[in-house]
Amino acid sequence: MFCTLNTHKVDMEKLLGGQIGLEDFIFAHTKGQRKEVEVFKSEEALGLTITDNGAGYAFIKRIREGSVIDRIPVISVGDMIEAIDGQSLVGARHYEVAKMLKELPRGRTFALQLTEPRKAFDMIGPRAGGGRGGGTQLGTGRGTLRLRARGPATVEEQPSAFEERAVAKVDDLLESYMGIRDSELAATMVELGRDARDPDALAQALDSQLGDFAFPDEFVFDVWGAIGDAKVGRC
């Protein structure tokens, strides 16, 4: 279903993305129990944040406390969203799933088909220090393996402080505007906007590479501002 980085637990904040440190550990989470849940959409916002593994499966990354979904105990973080009202979502990106859920009319009941990750390795705890390697911490490799949608994987230097700040800011904007977090998409946007002269140039770069998203002008302007803030070190 998905992989987590340096933890065996179902922690969607540790979901494997496009960058892997040379000393990181990867844990694979396989399919567990399937379940179908009827959800009454009493509010416009269901309280879900959705992510995906880039291979055709979308997952629940976060559930807002007190939300519609939070009141349904059988739905959990880490569940894969297989279908909505019988319409398969295998192959869909997380923003497509989020859009479908958002467009469902308020005041009606819909069916969610979910698959939870298999429960395993619950007995594993943190590795004790003093083992071979003198207490070396995970994820300290100086190189980073970058996985791309097109082209081969490459080993690159760790992101600069500017890149890390900018990607974090743009990722926050994606969640605010679209209800998703996607660090790989945010990194691509930062790459496109790094040398843009002004918001119009950024908009043209985004349209040429990410035109399917049809980002609104106000969002592009906020991205331009976030990249500019990161360049000068503003938080």
Q: DSSP H helical segments within 67-215, as ranges?
A: 94-103, 161-178, 183-193, 199-210
**N-to-C CA span, the chain:** 35
Residues 35 and 112 in one domain: yes
The percentage of residues in the chain with a pLDDT greater than 90, rounded to a whole number, is: 17
Per-residue pLDDT at 129 exceeds 70: no
Least confident of 6-15, 16-25, 81-90, 148-157: 148-157
Residues 164 and 109 in one domain: no
Confidence bin at 124 (pLDDT 50/70/90): very low
Q: Is 234 exposed, middle or buried (0-12, 13-18, 19+ CB in 10 A)?
A: exposed
Confidence bin at 221 (pLDDT 50/70/90): very high
Q: Which of 59, 88, 117 is a domain's end point? A: 117
Structural domain includes residue 205: yes
Report the number of distinct structural domains present in the chain: 2
Question: Can you tell me the mean pLDDT for 8-18?
Answer: 59
Structural domain includes residue 23: no
CATH code of residue 47 = 2.30.42.10
- pLDDT, tens digit, 9 for 90 and up, residues 78-98: 888 999 999 999 888 888 888
Structural domain includes residue 144: no
What per-residue confidence (pLDDT) applies to 85? 94
Q: Which of 89, 117, 145 is a domain's end point? A: 117
User: Which residue segment(s) compose the domain that 197 sits in?
Assistant: 159-232
Question: Can you tell me the mean pLDDT for 184-197?
Answer: 85
Least confident of 23-32, 148-157, 158-167, 202-211: 148-157
Structural domain includes residue 49: yes
Q: Are 146 and 19 contacting, i.e. CB atoms less than 8 angstroms apart?
A: yes
Q: Which of 57, 86, 117 is a domain's end point? A: 117
Residue that wins the pLDDT comparison between 186 and 128? 186
Structural domain includes residue 140: no
